[in-house]
Amino acid sequence: MSTARIPESGSKQLRFRRPARSVRAAGDVRESHGGRRLATGITIAAALIVLAHLVHAVALAPYFLLPGPGPWAAWIALAVVVGIGVVSRTVSRSLPDWLYVLLLIGLVAPVWLDVSATAGLLQHGVTPTAAAAAGAVLMPVAAVRGTRVPLAVAAAIAAVIAIEALVQVVSAGAYTVAGVAVAASAVFPILLVTFAIDGFRRLVGRELDLSLVQSTVGTARSAVGMRASEELAQLDFDAETLLDDVGSGRIAIPLPPEAAERAGSLAARLRVRLIEGRTDTWLRHAVTESAYLSERVTVDDPTGCAGLLSQGQRDSLLLALWLLVADGPKKSTQPLSVVVRCRENAGDRESESAGFTVSIEVVGVVRRRVDPSTWDAIGSVGVHEVVPGAEGFRIDIACRVDPNLPAGSQSARAAARSRGS
């Protein structure tokens, strides 16, 4: 289960537990959502780098001291490690942890054999090749098993190659630069892969999280979200357990003090849940159930005005909030926060069409850094005005909706578009 902090209007902090199926959908970016293509591209790039190191080994082979094994013992050891990994991955889609660790340890053999074979030969331009190729072999491993461990192993390999080159600086002279360059070639490709994979997973995670919470825009004005469903399920279970104990005679009537206190607590929790449910709109559920919005967005909607919005307006408001917080400033002394306040217009309460104002207070980002698509989305919600502030800005949106039309209906969307124009 995945947890996310839920901002509430009071001081109490709750935690929302996302269902396991949603967690798997958001986290599985290796075998789906384009992850397989990314892994395939990384594997092809790794194969080309290994092939380049192999060609370099063939070119350097005549310069190795005889009767030593030359670079081939290290390459054979590397081929054995890679072969075992490929066969294991083909037989089983999930590589066992023990075999993964064993294969990483196995890379010590080609690195040690290659460094031993090239020791003292840098003055002739002979550098390690299989050891550098071992760093490239870790590139597809990073795409399958995560980036931290492969990056650390590649850095260790690069350090060994660099130390070997620096030790020979007196005899090697200018060739020391070539040795350090080979060391960099062992870690630089996987460093680029790490940036690519982390960025890809972050992008896919955000888009999937938005897709998971976007289902809330089609609910009724007052609806029960995933968090409330879990709470109600637990309350139902506790109530059924208590009633079963009373019905079976395990708890006598009149109820003993402990059972009576338990029944009173259940009744109080049910009343609170029912009262909150009247204003617990789709907007609160969307913010609560999003791993990205829940940490930065606070909803203040005491009368449930957000439930009056049509589905098109809901989509646009959710997208606007998403764009405001998804790409916040990386380095800022003021943390990014967004407060959404929904208030009824007093003059429209008796009219046929209901009007209310949505105020979005943004702190920690300047207006010029806001994505232009954000303003397009806000314009679909209603007529808006931007008020600058000392630490950010405020967006006041005048929303006009018909409370007699069900939210999300075609008529509601048509009415909202006609009023917005």
Same domain, 42 and 184: yes
Least confident of 56-65, 233-242, 362-371, 404-413: 404-413
* Residue 319 falls inside a structural domain: yes
pLDDT in tens, 343-358: 887 655 444 456 789 9
Same domain, 393 and 303: yes
Q: Is 297 helix (H, G, I), strand (E, B) or coil?
A: strand
pLDDT band at 416 (very low <50, low <70, confident <90, very high): very low
Burial class (CB in 10 A: 0-12, 13-18, 19+), 213: buried
Residues of the domain holding 17: 2-23+219-225+280-420
- Helical residues (DSSP H) of 214-310, grouped into ranges: 226-247, 257-277, 282-288
* Residue 270 falls inside a structural domain: no
Q: What's the token pair of residue 365?
A: 């980002």
Distance CA 405, CA 360 (A): 25
CA atoms within 13 A on the CB side of 177: 2
Q: What's the token pair of residue 397?
A: 């949106």
Beta pairing, strands 297-300 & 337-344: parallel
Same domain, 416 and 372: yes
pLDDT computed for residue 220 by the predictor:
56
Nearest Cα to 339, choosing from 386, 395, 384?
Answer: 395
Nearest Cα to 85, choosing from 157, 144, 156, 28?
Answer: 144
Nearest Cα to 177, choosing from 156, 158, 162, 160?
Answer: 162
Least confident of 130-144, 327-341, 344-358: 344-358
Nearest 5°: phi and psi at 120? 80, 0
Q: Is 336 helix (H, G, I), strand (E, B) or coil?
A: coil
According to the per-residue pLDDT averaged within each range, which of 154-168, 286-300, 369-383 is highest? 154-168
Structurally, the chain folds into a number of domains equal to 2
Same domain, 74 and 53: yes
pLDDT computed for residue 110 by the predictor:
94
Same domain, 9 and 50: no
Nearest Cα to 381, choosing from 324, 320, 326?
Answer: 320
pLDDT in tens, 140-174: 888 888 889 999 999 999 999 999 999 998 888 88
Same domain, 195 and 318: no
pLDDT band at 39 (very low <50, low <70, confident <90, very high): confident
Same domain, 12 and 105: no
Distance CA 267, CA 273 (A): 10
